[in-house]
Amino acid sequence: MIQPVIAIHGGAGAMSRAAMSPEKEQEYLSALESILTAGQAVLARGGSALDAVTEAVRLLEDCPLFNAGHGAVFTSAGTHELDAAIMDGATLRSGAIANVNCVRNPVFAARKVMETSKHVLFVGEGAEAFAKEAGLEIVDPSYFSTEARREQLLRVQRETPEAAVLDHDGQAMVARGQPAPADPLDADKKFGTVGAVAVDAQGNLAAATSTGGITNKQVGRVGDAPLIGAGTYASNKTCAVSTTGTGEMFIRMVAAYDVAAQMEYCGASLETAADRVVMEKLPTIGGKGGLVAVDAQGNVALPFNTEGMYRGYARVGEKPVTAIYR
């Protein structure tokens, strides 16, 4: 009998311990734990892995601490472009949307694409029209904005105007006498994707990923999160994976699928395959970040090659485990 389990991530990046107060650390850990508890509850009452990852990612989207949905980062034009994907390991059905700015919960739109459309990926106006037709909650784009994210954009544009900002050493800012960032993983250059993976009591796997992109990104850019095989993948034969990091590198490495492929073709364990992708293969092209993964036996892997990654997992019947640093 499989013990159902869910794992989540809320982004990876450079550690800035000087910016970290015990209160701020607890705020993040508490948010992760409450979201894990909600996903765990879905599995505990016999719910599907699909429902569990959908609920976890919905809550991550609604939490302004993370870069997805409410609290999404700004593009170079001061707008929001949201992406999401979901995949069912039992059937390999999947759905994704990219570059939307009015769908409150992009993960719901991705799931509607999977369940009611013959297609996998919708983008921009077409994705928004699909979501409206599906009856999903539509909001004014200002709903996604927070003052902290706007200040982040202005700071990045002032300090590194050409950069689409990914990773940053908060310690260096403090050493230069600049104010410490409020985010324990420097939010200016944190890989802000959220995601969830789960295996349910029936042995079915699922993965979902959602993101607001990267601060100051060029309008129209799409990263790995909504791309099946790059940022999101699930197959009952192997594992479910959700990634966070330098999206372009994860796309080039087809990172999420690579974990599953090593398990299927080489007989690698989940831990070995996930570690190889994150710690050995991605760094060869400058890929930074991490992933969360579960396999059909309920094993969990949460590797990352940055200083920290917001992460956690919860097995049914056990207390959730959360962490930020190594």
Tell whether 69 is covered by a domain: yes
**Tokens linked to 49:** 């892995």
Tell whether 160 is covered by a domain: no
Report, in angstroms and rounded to the nearest whole number, the Rg of the chain calculated over CA atoms: 18
The CATH number covering residue 15 comes to 3.60.20.30
Range of the domain at 34: 5-145+182-325
* 317 appears as a binding residue in the annotation: no
First to last CA, the chain: 31
Tell whether 177 is covered by a domain: no
* 222 appears as a binding residue in the annotation: yes
**Tens-digit pLDDT profile for residues 151-194:** 877 887 787 666 554 433 333 333 344 554 556 666 655 667 99
Tell whether 163 is covered by a domain: no
**Tens-digit pLDDT profile for residues 195-205:** 999 999 999 99
* 223 appears as a binding residue in the annotation: yes
CA nearest 105: which of 135, 149, 74, 77? 135
* 246 appears as a binding residue in the annotation: yes
**Tokens linked to 237:** 């034969």
Residues belonging to the active site: 193
Nearest 5°: the CA angle 195, 208, 117 is 150
Tell whether 225 is covered by a domain: yes
Instruction: Please state the domain count of the chain.
Output: 1
At residue 173, the pLDDT reads: 37
**Tens-digit pLDDT profile for residues 8-40:** 999 998 766 666 688 988 999 999 999 999 999
**Tens-digit pLDDT profile for residues 50-72:** 999 999 999 999 999 898 888 88
Tell whether 166 is covered by a domain: no
* 295 appears as a binding residue in the annotation: no
